[in-house]
A and B are shown apart, each in its own frame.
Chain A
Amino acid sequence: DTGVSQDPRHKITKRGQNVTFRCDPISEHNRLYWYRQTLGQGPEFLTYFQNEAQLEKSRLLSDRFSAERPKGSFSTLEIQRTEQGDSAMYLCASSPRQGATGELFFGEGSRLTVL
């Protein structure tokens, strides 16, 4: 399967701990997105990369959150000093270079539970 993969699929952590999620996009896609989805809600945009450059960040992305895409391939999303309000599904998506068509290819998500 050459779709978007995310790891881990589930993470349970205690408040105050740091967590990191990884996303491997479809190989020929240069655009990569992180979204957050809380229970019963639609995905909310967090950040966007074009190749290795982080070009847009949402106000939702507090200073405890950091995302990287060091070689323009996989990406990581780190949350420091987790809070219970960080509990959510973190979705990664990618899209190809040619134009912004709105078709995003999503991974299955990484579900975070902060106790």
Chain B
Amino acid sequence: AQTVTQSQPEMSVQEAETVTLSCTYDTSENNYYLFWYKQPPSRQMILVIRQEAYKQQNATENRFSVNFQKAAKSFSLKISDSQLGDTAMYFCAFMKQTSNTGKLIFGQGTTLQVKP
């Protein structure tokens, strides 16, 4: 079975600074996808960034980038130039590439507070 662990329940960062959220996972699969989802207060969860395990290049989406270390089974999210709108709960998630259902396994989440 796959597990996803986020060891930082809460983090805070000053506006315009950079913050890194950590995620580790456990799997015996070789081909899979990893994701970071964002859940703002009282709003729906949205996809932030996606990484295919077979790609060595780290994914980047504007101010969001990941550090994917496959051997270490580590997948951290870096948010640059933090904005107040980045305040949210962030979830790391895993999906087997062979999944026919698209089912995601989520970590426990990290609550990020961006301070003005």
Q: Residues of A with Cβ closer than 8 Å to B?
A: 3-4, 31, 33, 40-45, 48, 50, 55-56, 91, 93, 95, 100-104, 106-109
Report whether over half of chain B's contact residues are helix, strand or loop; otherwise say mixed: loop
* Distance, CA A63 to CA B88, complexed state (A): 34
Let me know if B16 is at the binding interface, CB within 8 A: no
Q: Residues of B with Cβ closer than 8 Å to A?
A: 4, 6, 9, 33, 35, 42-47, 50, 91, 93, 95, 99-109
Q: Which residue from chain A places its CB closest to the CB of B51 in the assembled complex?
A: A102
* Distance, CA A55 to CA B103, complexed state (A): 11
**In the complex, how many angstroms separate the beta carbon of B40 from the nearest chain A beta carbon?**
10
B102 touches A95 (CB 8 A): yes
B109 touches A41 (CB 8 A): yes
* Distance, CA A93 to CA B91, complexed state (A): 15
Q: Which residue from chain B places its CB closest to the CB of A42 in the assembled complex?
A: B106
Q: Chain B residues with Cβ under 8 A from A40's Cβ?
A: 9, 108-109
Q: Chain B residues with Cβ under 8 A from A106's Cβ?
A: 44-46
Q: Chain B residues with Cβ under 8 A from A45's Cβ?
A: 103-105
Contacts A3-B44, A41-B108, A91-B45 known; list 6 others, CB within 8 Å: A40-B109, A42-B6, A42-B91, A48-B102, A48-B103, A108-B42
Given A4-B44, A43-B91, answer yes or no on A102-B33 (Cβ-Cβ < 8 Å).
yes
A102 touches B91 (CB 8 A): no
